[in-house]
Amino acid sequence: MRAEILRLPIKVAGFEVFKGHLDVSAQVEALEELRDVARIAPMRHPITRFGKQMSVRMTSAGRLGWISDARGYRYESRHPDGMAWPAIPAGILSLWRDITGLERLPDCCLINFYGEGARMGLHQDNDEGDFSYPVVSISLGDDGLFRMGGTERGGKTQSLWLNSGDVVVMDGEARLAYHGVDRIRFGSSSLLPDGGRINVTLRVVADLD
Ligand code: SIN
Ligand code: MN
């Protein structure tokens, strides 16, 4: 996957934002790879442990996938339908290497799809058991209004529109910072023919027994 590796990130509330990191051909390539994942491990509309359906649909690739159901949030080695998660696509892994420079590869590639009206409330990524590695987040398709806070719930937040091809890194002070997506501009990008936004997050997950 081709990427602009010379562009420096901007820092917003400790989050590193690489605007326009993926050019259009790299975005199309990533999308194809993600479609292959979703063909094997279909996107689902998860429910929370409170029985509420999330507005995003999601699936995963990698050794572990992130799921939410009546038992709560966690990582599992199988899709809720029973199949193993597909491998993390090669282009997505090379983006992880370009951005982080790490030898250690992510265990989970969580793929979120935001259709019209979908959003994601403020939350921390804190189910991984090891917070010493960054979380890398890739935006594809429609614009999304990304809200970034600190490590305390209810603290001050800043917002930024993420566009297709942007990459955000949550590391250091931002690794456990609250974040969420208030809304998308449905139909603002032509990357997905039927509209919508895809966000991919790459995470290292500790083995928790
Ligand atoms: C997430 O926090 O899992 C998704 C963030 C985003 O959609 O940009
Ligand atoms: Mn998150």
Buried b (16+ CB within 10 A) or exposed e, 3-42: beeeeeeeeebbbbbbbebbeeebbebbbebbeebbeebe
Please report which ligand is nearest the Cα atom of 58.
1
Query: What is the mean predicted confidence (pLDDT) over 36-41?
Result: 98
In this predicted structure, the answer to whether residue 16 has a pLDDT above a threshold of 90 is yes
> In this structure, which residue's CA is closest to atom 3 in ligand 1?
201
**Reported confidence tier of residue 207, pLDDT bands at 50, 70, 90:** confident
Gap from CA of 182 to ligand 1 centroid (Å): 10
Contact 156, 11 (CB under 8 A): no
> In this structure, which residue's CA is closest to atom 7 in ligand 1?
199
Residue 8's pLDDT is: 83
Gap from CA of 51 to ligand 2 centroid (Å): 20
* Residues with C-beta less than 6 Å from any ligand 1 atom: 112, 120, 137, 139, 144, 146, 179, 181, 199, 201
Residue 72's pLDDT is: 92
Gap from CA of 114 to ligand 1 centroid (Å): 10
> In this structure, which residue's CA is closest to atom 2 in ligand 1?
180
Q: How far is CA 44 from CA 32, 49, 67, 88, 162, in A?
A: 19, 15, 10, 18, 24
Residue 83's pLDDT is: 97
pLDDT digits (tens, 9 = 90+) for 156-187: 999 999 999 999 999 999 999 999 999 999 99
pTM, two decimals, is 0.95
> In this structure, which residue's CA is closest to atom 4 in ligand 1?
199
Gap from CA of 26 to ligand 2 centroid (Å): 23
pLDDT digits (tens, 9 = 90+) for 48-102: 999 999 999 999 999 999 999 999 999 999 999 999 999 999 999 999 999 999 9
DSSP character string of the chain? -----SPPPEEETTEEEETT-S-HHHHHHHHHHHHHHHHHS--B--B-TTSPBPSSEEEEEES-EEEEETTEEEEESB-TTSPBPPPPPHHHHHHHHHHH--SSPPSEEEEEEE-TT--EEEE----SS--SS-EEEEEEESEEEEEE--SSTT---EEEEE-TT-EEEE-GGGTT--EEEEEEETT--SSSTT--EEEEEEE------
Gap from CA of 2 to ligand 2 centroid (Å): 25
In this predicted structure, the answer to whether residue 124 has a pLDDT above a threshold of 70 is yes
Cα–Cα–Cα angle for 203, 129, 168, rounded to 5 degrees: 30
